[in-house]
Amino acid sequence: MAKNQSAIKRIKTSERNRLINRKYKSAVKTLTKRCFTNIDNLENSNLDDVQLSIAQVYSKIDKAIKKGAFHPNTGARKKARLARAFAYAQKQQN
C-alpha cells in the first residue's frame, strides 16, 4: 500500500477513472450489440429505427473518445464496422 500522499491520491484518481472508463465501454458494447441486432433484422425493422440506433452508438463512441476511454483510432474502427455492416445489410435487402 502506498504511504506518501501523492501516491494515495493517485490511487484514488485512477480508480475513479477506471470506473468511468468501464461505464463508457460497457455502454458502447451494449448499444453496439443492439445496433447489430437491428441491422441483422433490417427487413423486419424500420430503416429509421436502425439509423437512430447507429446515431446513438456514434454519439456514445464520440463521448467515450472525448473522455479518454477510447483511443480515437479505436472509436473510428468501431464506427467503421457499424457502417460497413449497415451498408452490407442494405445491399442485401435491395
Domain boundaries, the chain: 5-93
Burial of 5 (0-12, 13-18, 19+ CB in 10 A): exposed
Kindly report the pTM of this predicted structure.
0.88
What the block records as the C-alpha cell of 68 is 479518454
What CATH architecture is 5-93? Up-down Bundle (1.20)
Cell representation of residue 13:
484518481
Q: How many CB atoms lie within 10 A of CB 90?
A: 13
CA–CA gap between residue 75 and residue 62 (Å, rounded): 7
Q: What is the pLDDT of residue 94?
A: 73
Per-residue pLDDT of the chain (94 residues; tens, 9 = 90+): 888 999 999 999 999 999 999 999 999 999 999 999 999 988 777 888 999 999 999 999 999 999 999 999 999 999 999 999 999 998 887 7
